[in-house]
A and B are shown apart, each in its own frame.
Chain A
């Protein structure tokens, strides 16, 4: 089936003329039509637009002008502004918003010939780890528990729609954003590869901001190599983003084929946390064995401030968000709720436009920046953040990459972990430190839990050394031979 192809395979098939971009796009649009009503992975499907792009791709292929992604159907997280296509950020407040501009990352993908199927569901303003905070309804994880196939599981979040779409074969790949784990955690929950590159690799211009110093655009894919292909297209210097790195984009596909022989892989002892499920600990050990068998050297390292990453994150991210989301005031774009005066308009617009989790985080952020509390919360968190970066810098003085679990559990059920915000926050315990430090990370599907749900392992590397990260990830992928499929997928039992 065309929907089962990897990007690498689809690219080769298009170039060899085995099928057309229109065939490939139609296959995915059909799959979306069948499965999306149930999965709710897409907020918005752009059938006609996708076919127009596919026809243009076929013309380019016929003219011998194929680029890296010509004719490849992708799903775009609804946090990326897409010109002329509604962009909601998963929020009621942006329900009517149609950006007149294209984000740099999606523009790069379009430049390389990609076909956009539509915009994917997500936690509101990317705040969440389950996709339950979306104003457009929850997303169903296409994976099912063996013993409890009726339970509806979350795809993770915040990029839950993108993850579910790629896992269910509704798209060959997808964009996501990762502020505290929002690509890597859903990738782990959905049996996918998810990449969070180095801060500054992918431009944030045109990506609705959640927490500016922590937001990282990145791809979802079904293989490590596909991740390298997508990232290679998405990444690159952008003069419109003052935090974009002026660095060349290396050949990451080539890095996937390199051996890990002689690489030093660190095992951060602080990631071995109390109460970690045995299967996750076992999978982690297994991953280390695979890398050792492939010729890498395993080294114990210490990242002493790991434990404080989450708390620091839940100061910094809400602080930045409280400011970034101030622009949603019902004056220039988005939804407005009228009021008796301007202030009342602001307060009603924002009360009805934002969901509970967003409201909570804006309030926490407002509080930690307010007079008298700035030093105790925000400044202290930024100092802890500096210590976390130093932990990584020290560790990377000894090793080339780190291996950790991606998430502390497999996918959980919709409605679980909802009683108390902090239980949900704990999902990001292994992913958040890389956002605080800006180092690149990837989640690779490595095994199944006793319920048959996928579990990922995370590879972290030095800043701007995604090449080593891809090398290690590809070695894990080869060793793991992960071939399990989700229950709900195009052409599957669903």
Chain B
């Protein structure tokens, strides 16, 4: 299923690479001991190092290095035993040093891969070029004062991982799948919370178009897109723009652009148009970062089970379809919830309940998997009540809704509401007899060959028993009596 843009001059292929900035989860900043927590009072989490006071020097946070290495390992990437910090020089209001400490020539992590799954069930490998550590900038606030911008440096110096993909992405869907997969891996690893709305994960999108078989054409960078949906929209909009330009005989200029979600279009970023010349050079305040191989191996050995491995295991151990397994492993907490429900029970029924009624309840109540309306243990108990015949499947749906509403244990709800399944054959025979007697005409039709009426009799009997009849016994009894 290849994505093409139909232009006036023929089909165009999309070429996309993503640069994702992922804020590292750590207590303190990359180069200073100031806190990283989101939402603090302005400039309250700023050290003299972060504000670039004269004579201040950076010292690297070991945990941030560890997080970058673990992320690299999670992307099946090469970890560079020697890496280096460089200065990227430019002036900006929220960049106190006048340079950003980043990694240019020698990043901490080299090439890796992310496997993405598409809606049609196919998978693709997207290459990761590199991952490097760098410091975040502060924040400029432009809308608080008529003539001034306000600068808050709380974010300045927080560790970022920049994860750069190869230009392997060929459709907006693939870009979305890549981002979701990357976010899932980061969350599994606990190295980034992946929250694009709060800006802890941000994407720069490099877009170009070409005719099939051509070398790459000029690309534009759409900066700081802050949701998966916007990334997909930005790619489409930017690709269309470029196709228009090429087809009308123009030339796409390499530039930095911004996506305007309201208008659904990209626009040139004038303030960044100054001829940039970052003058990268090795930061003389920071000797080379040399990693111990044994330490890397320890980190590797202690990685959690990641989404791909978990999905394969769910398919293998629980017999789930690739789709269900994929849905259940997207978030680690969901996978864990599922496993608690499935353990020692029918795994497929557990999957149906989790992805069906349970997800619906999450949506309806607006609650999260971390704070679910029904716990995994309680859902498991409900499944047990079905398995041991205490309630039937229809009643289970009602019990589940009652669990969502009241938070009570399923057994308690069943007792309270008297929802136990009726398995007394005498009661069932009596109910069936009554239904058959009341519907003599339909019985005659059935016996005359109108098999479809069987469902009618089942429904009527169940209704007469207030839904609590054992379906198997009802079927068996009806069959016997109708045959008679």
Direct touch of chains A and B (CB < 8 A): yes
A interface list, Cβ under 8 A from B: 80-81, 87, 89, 94, 97, 99-101, 103, 204-209, 211-213, 239-243, 319-320, 322-323, 325-327, 329, 331-333, 342-343, 346, 366, 369-371, 374, 378
Could you tell me if B91 and A346 are in contact, using CB atoms closer than 8 angstroms? yes
How far does the alpha carbon of A329 sit from the alpha carbon of B48 in the complex, in Å?
Answer: 16
Q: Which residues of B contact A103 (CB under 8 A)?
A: 55
Q: Which of B87, B149, B281, B283 has the most CB of A within 10 A?
A: B281
Instruction: Point out the residue from B57, B91, B96, B283 that lies within 8 Å of A332, measured CB to CB.
Output: B96
Instruction: Point out the residue from B149, B284, B287 that lies within 8 Å of A342, measured CB to CB.
Output: B149
Per DSSP, chain A at the interface is loop
How far does the alpha carbon of A89 sit from the alpha carbon of B54 in the complex, in Å?
Answer: 10
Could you tell me if A327 and B285 are in contact, using CB atoms closer than 8 angstroms? no
Which positions 130-187 of chain B face chain A at CB distance < 8 Å? Answer: 149, 151
Could you tell me if B91 and A212 are in contact, using CB atoms closer than 8 angstroms? no
Q: List 6 A-B contacts (CB under 8 A).
A: A241-B57, A319-B281, A323-B281, A326-B99, A327-B96, A378-B281
The yes or no answer to B323 lying at the interface (CB within 8 A) is no
Instruction: Point out the residue from B54, B59, B93 that lies within 8 Å of A327, measured CB to CB.
Output: B54
Could you tell me if B279 and A87 are in contact, using CB atoms closer than 8 angstroms? no
Could you tell me if B55 and A323 are in contact, using CB atoms closer than 8 angstroms? no
Question: Chain A residue with minimal CB distance to B85?
Answer: A242
Q: Which residues of B contact A242 (CB under 8 A)?
A: 57-60, 285-287
Could you tell me if B279 and A369 are in contact, using CB atoms closer than 8 angstroms? yes
Could you tell me if B57 and A204 are in contact, using CB atoms closer than 8 angstroms? yes
Could you tell me if B48 and A100 are in contact, using CB atoms closer than 8 angstroms? yes
Q: Which residues of B contact A342 (CB under 8 A)?
A: 93, 149
Could you tell me if B279 and A370 are in contact, using CB atoms closer than 8 angstroms? yes
Instruction: Point out the residue from B48, B279, B287 that lies within 8 Å of A323, measured CB to CB.
Output: B279
Could you tell me if A97 and B54 are in contact, using CB atoms closer than 8 angstroms? yes
Q: Which residues of A contact B149 (CB under 8 A)?
A: 342
The yes or no answer to B214 lying at the interface (CB within 8 A) is no
| Shortest Cβ distance from residue B100 to the other chain A in the assembled complex, whole angstroms | 11
Total B residues in contact with A, Cβ cutoff 8 Å: 30
| Shortest Cβ distance from residue B144 to the other chain A in the assembled complex, whole angstroms | 16
How far does the alpha carbon of A243 sit from the alpha carbon of B57 in the complex, in Å?
Answer: 10
Per DSSP, chain B at the interface is loop
| Shortest Cβ distance from residue A40 to the other chain B in the assembled complex, whole angstroms | 23
Could you tell me if B284 and A213 are in contact, using CB atoms closer than 8 angstroms? yes
How far does the alpha carbon of A242 sit from the alpha carbon of B59 in the complex, in Å?
Answer: 6
The yes or no answer to B89 lying at the interface (CB within 8 A) is yes
How far does the alpha carbon of A319 sit from the alpha carbon of B87 in the complex, in Å?
Answer: 11
Q: Which residues of B contact A208 (CB under 8 A)?
A: 54-55
Asked whether A240 and B51 contact (CB < 8 A) given A320-B284, A371-B277, the answer is no
Q: Which of B89, B96, B97, B98 has the most CB of A within 10 A?
A: B98
How far does the alpha carbon of A239 sit from the alpha carbon of B33 in the complex, in Å?
Answer: 12
Closest 7 pairs (CB-CB, A-B): A326-B98, A369-B279, A213-B284, A212-B284, A327-B52, A206-B55, A208-B54
Instruction: Point out the residue from A101, A213, A327 that lies within 8 Å of B97, measured CB to CB.
Output: A327
| Shortest Cβ distance from residue A334 to the other chain B in the assembled complex, whole angstroms | 8
Asked whether A326 and B89 contact (CB < 8 A) given A242-B58, A242-B60, A378-B281, the answer is yes
| Shortest Cβ distance from residue B331 to the other chain A in the assembled complex, whole angstroms | 38
Asked whether A207 and B281 contact (CB < 8 A) given A243-B287, A323-B99, the answer is no
Asked whether A207 and B93 contact (CB < 8 A) given A100-B48, A213-B284, the answer is no
The yes or no answer to B56 lying at the interface (CB within 8 A) is yes
How far does the alpha carbon of A462 sit from the alpha carbon of B312 in the complex, in Å?
Answer: 60
Q: Which of B57, B58, B59 has the most CB of A within 10 A?
A: B57
Could you tell me if A81 and B55 are in contact, using CB atoms closer than 8 angstroms? yes
Q: Which residues of A contact B98 (CB under 8 A)?
A: 323, 325-327, 329
The yes or no answer to B216 lying at the interface (CB within 8 A) is no
Q: Which residues of A contact B284 (CB under 8 A)?
A: 211-213, 243, 320
How many A-B pairs have beta carbons closer than 8 Å: the answer is: 99
Asked whether A332 and B54 contact (CB < 8 A) given A212-B284, A326-B99, the answer is no
Could you tell me if A99 and B89 are in contact, using CB atoms closer than 8 angstroms? no
Question: Chain A residue with minimal CB distance to B278?
Answer: A371
Which positions 428-460 of chain B face chain A at CB distance < 8 Å? Answer: none
The yes or no answer to B3 lying at the interface (CB within 8 A) is no
How far does the alpha carbon of A99 sit from the alpha carbon of B51 in the complex, in Å?
Answer: 12
Q: Which residues of B contact A333 (CB under 8 A)?
A: 53-54
How far does the alpha carbon of A97 sit from the alpha carbon of B96 in the complex, in Å?
Answer: 16
Instruction: Point out the residue from A94, A211, A329, A370 that lies within 8 Å of B91, measured CB to CB.
Output: A329
Q: Which residues of B contact A346 (CB under 8 A)?
A: 91
Question: Chain B residue with minimal CB distance to A125?
Answer: B54
Could you tell me if B59 and A239 are in contact, using CB atoms closer than 8 angstroms? yes
| Shortest Cβ distance from residue B134 to the other chain A in the assembled complex, whole angstroms | 15
How far does the alpha carbon of A100 sit from the alpha carbon of B51 in the complex, in Å?
Answer: 13
Could you tell me if B285 and A243 are in contact, using CB atoms closer than 8 angstroms? yes
| Shortest Cβ distance from residue B406 to the other chain A in the assembled complex, whole angstroms | 57
Q: Which residues of B contact A371 (CB under 8 A)?
A: 277, 279
| Shortest Cβ distance from residue A196 to the other chain B in the assembled complex, whole angstroms | 17
Q: Which residues of B contact A101 (CB under 8 A)?
A: 48, 53
Q: Which residues of B contact A243 (CB under 8 A)?
A: 284-287
Asked whether A331 and B57 contact (CB < 8 A) given A100-B48, A319-B281, A374-B281, the answer is no
* Extra contacts besides A323-B98, A326-B89 (11): CB < 8 Å: A81-B53, A87-B54, A205-B55, A242-B60, A242-B287, A331-B93, A331-B151, A333-B54, A366-B279, A374-B280, A374-B281
How far does the alpha carbon of A81 sit from the alpha carbon of B57 in the complex, in Å?
Answer: 13
Instruction: Point out the residue from A332, A343, A378 that lies within 8 Å of B51, measured CB to CB.
Output: A332
Could you tell me if B281 and A81 are in contact, using CB atoms closer than 8 angstroms? no
Instruction: Point out the residue from B53, B91, B99, B279 that lies within 8 Å of A99, measured CB to CB.
Output: B53
Q: Which residues of A contact B60 (CB under 8 A)?
A: 242
Asked whether A240 and B59 contact (CB < 8 A) given A326-B97, A327-B52, the answer is yes
Q: Which of A205, A241, A322, A326 has the most CB of B within 10 A?
A: A326
How far does the alpha carbon of A331 sit from the alpha carbon of B285 in the complex, in Å?
Answer: 23
How far does the alpha carbon of A342 sit from the alpha carbon of B53 in the complex, in Å?
Answer: 20
Q: Which residues of A contact B151 (CB under 8 A)?
A: 331
Q: Which residues of A contact B281 (CB under 8 A)?
A: 319-320, 323, 369, 374, 378
Q: Which of A319, A366, A371 has the most CB of B within 10 A?
A: A371
| Shortest Cβ distance from residue A349 to the other chain B in the assembled complex, whole angstroms | 11
Q: Which residues of B contact A327 (CB under 8 A)?
A: 52-54, 96-98
| Shortest Cβ distance from residue A124 to the other chain B in the assembled complex, whole angstroms | 13
Asked whether A369 and B89 contact (CB < 8 A) given A242-B59, A243-B287, the answer is yes
Q: Which residues of A contact B279 (CB under 8 A)?
A: 322-323, 366, 369-371, 374
Could you tell me if B91 and A209 are in contact, using CB atoms closer than 8 angstroms? no
| Shortest Cβ distance from residue A209 to the other chain B in the assembled complex, whole angstroms | 6
Instruction: Point out the residue from B54, B55, B91 that lies within 8 Å of A326, measured CB to CB.
Output: B91
Q: Which residues of A contact B93 (CB under 8 A)?
A: 331, 342
How far does the alpha carbon of A323 sit from the alpha carbon of B90 in the complex, in Å?
Answer: 9
Q: Which residues of A contact B52 (CB under 8 A)?
A: 327, 332
Which positions 36-78 of chain B face chain A at CB distance < 8 Å? Answer: 48, 51-60
How far does the alpha carbon of A241 sit from the alpha carbon of B55 in the complex, in Å?
Answer: 10
| Shortest Cβ distance from residue B172 to the other chain A in the assembled complex, whole angstroms | 33
Q: Which residues of A contact B56 (CB under 8 A)?
A: 205-206
Could you tell me if A204 and B91 are in contact, using CB atoms closer than 8 angstroms? no
| Shortest Cβ distance from residue B49 to the other chain A in the assembled complex, whole angstroms | 9
Could you tell me if A99 and B54 are in contact, using CB atoms closer than 8 angstroms? yes
Could you tell me if B89 and A323 are in contact, using CB atoms closer than 8 angstroms? yes
How far does the alpha carbon of A491 sit from the alpha carbon of B280 in the complex, in Å?
Answer: 54
| Shortest Cβ distance from residue B142 to the other chain A in the assembled complex, whole angstroms | 11
Could you tell me if B54 and A209 are in contact, using CB atoms closer than 8 angstroms? yes
Could you tell me if A81 and B54 are in contact, using CB atoms closer than 8 angstroms? yes
How far does the alpha carbon of A321 sit from the alpha carbon of B98 in the complex, in Å?
Answer: 12
Could you tell me if B287 and A332 are in contact, using CB atoms closer than 8 angstroms? no
Q: Which residues of B contact A99 (CB under 8 A)?
A: 53-55
Q: Which residues of B contact A239 (CB under 8 A)?
A: 59
Q: Which of B52, B54, B99, B149 has the most CB of A within 10 A?
A: B54
Question: Chain A residue with minimal CB distance to B59?
Answer: A242
Which positions 271-293 of chain B face chain A at CB distance < 8 Å? Answer: 277, 279-281, 283-287
How far does the alpha carbon of A381 sit from the alpha carbon of B60 in the complex, in Å?
Answer: 27
How far does the alpha carbon of A189 sit from the alpha carbon of B55 in the complex, in Å?
Answer: 28
